Structure 1
Amino acid sequence: MDALTVATAVAPYITAAVTAYGSAVVTRTTDTAADATVSLGRRIVQRLWSREENRDGLEQAIEDVAEDPQDDDAQAALRLQVRRILRQDSELTAELAQLLPARSFTASGDGAVAVETNNGVISTGDGATIQR
């Protein structure tokens, strides 16, 4: 996975961890009561934080999300900071990509379709005509 894809994928986990722990997410020890999303987010933040050169912008982005977890701009700034870090460190990008849960798609019901990427037409209608 590339840095942008990983940054986008890890951002919700980081946000969940920051929402639960605030800016203390960096130093928080394992909490057995934490759910999987928050726990994974905490581990991701700690991996990002482990490299001192990443800390300045990351710290501010974490603090901004901690102040207002619902702020879309703060979340976007956090994603941007993570993306910057990951673009400079392909090893860390690969490491974080491996931490992410496997993606699964489920479709059920008449005409249901489960697709991760579609570069063409998907038609589930009876008697549909596709014209090119």
Structure 2
Amino acid sequence: MSVDAVQLAHELTPYATAAITAYGAAVLARVENDAVDATVSFGQRILRRLTGRDTPDSETTTEQESLADTVAELAGAPGDADLAAVLRVQIRRLMAAHPDIAADIATWARPAAPSTVTITTSGDRSPAVQSNYGTINTGDSTT
């Protein structure tokens, strides 16, 4: 099975970044539990596979060690778009160099793609909520 490493790296990077943002430098060592969000859990699984930490006593390549270093650096600056781009390039290069890893990951079922919700409000007493299932009173004369 031939895998497009560029496309796969583009698809996987948001999951990896979500995991790094959630757990920081401990992302590669953190143990999963049932309460872990599916996106973050999937990102952890990707990173463990890509860095060779998914099997004990496995030998790691230079690409895998470099990727692990970038994970640690991005954990220290999770909002850094440049580091996220470096991560994507390293993922792409690693998968191009190791098509067996890319083919393996390409077969994994993915959770819903991570998304960002932006809520904007303007004006005095304007509430900013994503979902509201009740009443919001914003006036001075409410009872």
Under a length normalisation based on structure 1, what TM-score does the superposition of the two structures give? Answer: 0.72
Match of 1:98 in 2: 107
% of aligned pairs identical?
Answer: 38
Please state how far the C-alpha of 1:70 moved relative to its aligned partner: 1.1
Name which one, 1 or 2, has greater alpha-carbon Rg: 2
Match of 1:26 in 2: 28
1:68-79 counterparts in 2 under 5 A?
Answer: 68-79=77-88
Match of 1:46 in 2: 48
SS of residue in 2 equivalent to 1:99: coil
The CA distance in 1 between the partners of 2:87 and 2:21, in whole Å, is: 13
Contact 2:25/2:72 (<8 A) preserved: yes
Contact 2:38/2:111 (<8 A) preserved: no
Unaligned stretches of 5+ in structure 2? Answer: 53-58, 113-143
Q: Summarize the Cα distance change of 1:102–1:34 in structure 2 as closer, same or farther, 3 Å threshold.
A: closer
Equivalent AA in structure 2 for residue 16 of structure 1:
A
Under a length normalisation based on structure 2, what TM-score does the superposition of the two structures give? Answer: 0.67
Alignment coverage as a number of residue pairs: 104
Contact 1:14/1:41 (<8 A) preserved: yes
Match of 1:55 in 2: 64
Equivalent AA in structure 2 for residue 28 of structure 1:
R
Please state how far the C-alpha of 1:83 moved relative to its aligned partner: 0.8
Alignment root-mean-square deviation, CA = 1.9
Greater per-residue helix proportion: 1
Q: Could you list the per-position Cα deviations for residues 19-76 of structure 1 after superposition, in whole angstroms to 9, with x for gaps in the alignment?
A: 1111211111112211110000000000011151033211221022111111110100
Which contiguous aligned blocks of 4+ residues in structure 1 show a shift greater than 4 angstroms? Answer: none
Contact 1:49/1:55 (<8 A) preserved: yes
SS of residue in 2 equivalent to 1:70: coil
